[in-house]
Structure 1
Amino acid sequence: MKLVTIQDLAQIVKKHGFENFMSDLVSYLKNDFVRWNEFDKSPRYAAHVPGGVLELMPTADKQYFTYKYVNGHPGNPLEGKQTIVATGQMSEVKYGFPILLSEMTALTGFRTAATTMIATEYMARKDSSTLALIGTGAQSEFQALAHRMVRPIKTIRYFDIDPLAMDKFERNLGDKGFNLVRCTSAEEACNGADIITVCTACKKHAVVIENSWVKPGVHINGLGGDCPGKTELDKAILFRGKVIVEYTEQSMVEGDIQQITPEEVKQVLHAELWELISGSKVGREEDSEVTIYDSVGFAIEDFSALRLTHDLAHKYGIGHDIDMIPPINDPKNLISVLDLHK
């Protein structure tokens, strides 16, 4: 079994290149999403605990089973801890043996940005050059760098309620060639934006983006509404144009569309993301359209990220080969691993 730590992943990304890693992850995601009907799918398991949520996100095709363990504790930064941490495992279906155990905190940053890249590719205007980022936490730099790979982003307008988070964002992206515009409110950040990407952590029905701020032609990536009772968009926005989700059954519980009735969901929902990738439905058709990607994160995305990590770990010889399966010759003699005769 291969163990990939955060230090190992950093080596893999350095060896492979950040943009190459992101680009390859997009390819793996597209290859897996077009096989949508081959996967075992279910909404994630969630244990809602004081201060946050603990989740398991499983899926499988005919070759691999994967799952991610992930938390979401919005108050953690007040104690110097990360809001979200994650680990993931991949197993072979044939024998049921695990073949990869990986860090997935940084990997989740990659897969969320890569999936958002895909939604932006199909739904944002091709001339989109100004990105608004609402929330400059752990996901923000991934989003900024990813968006530039699919659209000619020159200006980033950004806002966070935490000034130190904006300072951090500026330090990390100050030498990346963007025109960085620090804003004093979410409304100011949205002014003149072609794409609005919102990723906040507060677990409540918040209106982070007002309907009146959204002008014709804007594409919105709503990433922070990812559990029951947690939303970011003025629900009137959902009736403005095309809404896409990853997995409708899960999004109706956890996404921004949880704010509206099942009948209203039928009215506003244009497609699931896999349908755009497969070509069975189209994304943006007119420059004046408002488009909304209501993302909650789905297990197939983690499947793709783990599959890529496994492939690159073996390609570059990075990671640790560890015994998580008892090394015994007689499969019925489990107690022999304890060597009780000595």
Structure 2
Amino acid sequence: MKILTVADIQELIQVIGLENFFKRVITALEEDFGRWSEFILSPRHGTYYPDGVIELMPCADRQHYAFKYVNGYPGNPLKGKLNVVAIGVLSDADSGYPLMISEMTLLTAFRTAATGVLAAKYLAREDAKTLAIIGTGAQAEFQVLAFAGFFPLEEIRFFDSDPQAMVKFSRNLAEQKFRLIPCDSIVEAVRDADIVITATAAKKRQSLFEIEDIAPGAYILAMGGDSPGKTELSAEFLKQVRLVVEYKPQSLVEGEVQQCEADLIYAELWELVCKNKPGRRNNREITLFDSVGFALEDYSILRVVYELAKEYQLGTESDLIPELNDPKNLFGLLNL
């Protein structure tokens, strides 16, 4: 069985490049959302604690079974720890044998950004040039660079309640071609933006902006809301946009749409990918993708990474699974 560490993912990105990796992941996501009916799907299983949540996210088809262990602890950064950490497993469905255990803290950031771009392919204007991001924490740079690889972005406006997070964000993206514009408020950042990303971590109900703050034709990616009782936009705001989610049974529990009735949702993302429903209808419509993260996305990136790890001979083979001459003689391994 292959084990991929953080160092292995770092090496992989160095070898193939950040933009190429995003393209591989987005292509895989589109392929997998495009064969939605082939998957065995379920909402993630969450165990909630006062300070956060620990979740298991399974997804399977006839070839592979995948799952991710992931947490969400908004208070962790104040303790010097990450808000989100994760590990993932990809297994062979024919034998049930695990093929790979991988770090997924980095990979979760990649696949979350890639999914937002995939939705934007159907919901954003192709000529989008200005992106606003609210929240410049651990996932912010991934989001911006993923979008910059697929849209002609010229200007990035950003705001965070933590000034140091804004400094970090500016430093990490200082060498990019687009202009970085720090803002003093959320409203200043989102005004006239073509793409708006909300990436806050506070575990509470919020209303970051109102519909009059958003330009006609904007695409909004709400990816910060990810648990019951945590939202970034008001129910009234959601009624005034074209609303798309990943998987209704999960989104209605922990997405922005937990505040709404199911019939307010226009579509699940797979319906746009499969052409069952059209995406954006015109250049003035405001569209919103309520992204909470779904196990199919983990499946997609795990299969991509497994293929690349074999191609570039990355990772370590480990004997976590016993190899026996007689499969019935497990006790013989003890050599007693």
Q: Is the TM value for this pair above 0.5? A: yes
Asked if structure 2 preserves the Cα contact closer than 8 Å seen for 1:247 and 1:272, the reply is yes
1:30-56 Cα deviation digits (max 9, x unpaired): 111111011111110000012100000
> SS of the counterpart of 2:165?
helix
1:94 aligns with 2:94: yes
Asked if structure 2 preserves the Cα contact closer than 8 Å seen for 1:190 and 1:196, the reply is yes
CA distance in 2, matches of 1:50, 1:338: 43
CA distance in 2, matches of 1:94, 1:228: 36
> SS of the counterpart of 2:55?
strand
Aligned-pair RMSD on alpha carbons?
Answer: 0.9
Determine the structure 1 residue equivalent to 2:310. Answer: 314
Residue identity in the other structure for 2:313: G
| Shift of residue 212, structure 1, vs aligned partner | 2.7
Determine the structure 2 residue equivalent to 1:111. Answer: 111
CA distance in 1, matches of 2:235, 2:132: 19
Asked if structure 1 preserves the Cα contact closer than 8 Å seen for 2:192 and 2:214, the reply is no
CA distance in 2, matches of 1:259, 1:235: 6
1:231-263 Cα deviation digits (max 9, x unpaired): 001222211121000001110001001012x2x
> SS of the counterpart of 2:206?
strand
CA distance in 2, matches of 1:248, 1:238: 15
CA distance in 2, matches of 1:239, 1:15: 45
Residue identity in the other structure for 2:239: F
Percent pairwise identity? 49
| Shift of residue 185, structure 1, vs aligned partner | 1.1
> SS of the counterpart of 2:278?
coil
**Structure 1 alignment gaps of length 5 or more:** none
> SS of the counterpart of 1:231?
coil
Residue identity in the other structure for 2:316: H
| Shift of residue 211, structure 1, vs aligned partner | 2.7
Q: TM-score, normalised on structure 2?
A: 0.98
- Where in structure 1 do 4 or more consecutive aligned residues deviate above 6 Å? none
1:144-195 Cα deviation digits (max 9, x unpaired): 1111122111100100011110000000001111110101111111112111
Determine the structure 2 residue equivalent to 1:6. Answer: 6
1:214 aligns with 2:210: no
Determine the structure 2 residue equivalent to 1:159. Answer: 159
Determine the structure 2 residue equivalent to 1:280. Answer: 276
Residue identity in the other structure for 1:40: I
Determine the structure 2 residue equivalent to 1:297. Answer: 293
CA distance in 2, matches of 1:193, 1:283: 19
CA distance in 1, matches of 2:152, 2:175: 17
**Structure 2 alignment gaps of length 5 or more:** none
CA distance in 1, matches of 2:161, 2:315: 38
1:151-190 matches, within 5 Å, as 151-190=151-190
| Shift of residue 60, structure 1, vs aligned partner | 0.4
Residue identity in the other structure for 1:112: T
| Shift of residue 210, structure 1, vs aligned partner | 2.4
| Shift of residue 106, structure 1, vs aligned partner | 0.3
> SS of the counterpart of 1:25?
helix
Q: TM-score, normalised on structure 1?
A: 0.97
1:101-140 matches, within 5 Å, as 101-140=101-140
CA distance in 2, matches of 1:229, 1:337: 50
| Shift of residue 338, structure 1, vs aligned partner | 1.8
Asked if structure 1 preserves the Cα contact closer than 8 Å seen for 2:194 and 2:219, the reply is yes
> SS of the counterpart of 1:209?
coil
| Shift of residue 310, structure 1, vs aligned partner | 0.3
CA distance in 2, matches of 1:337, 1:35: 43
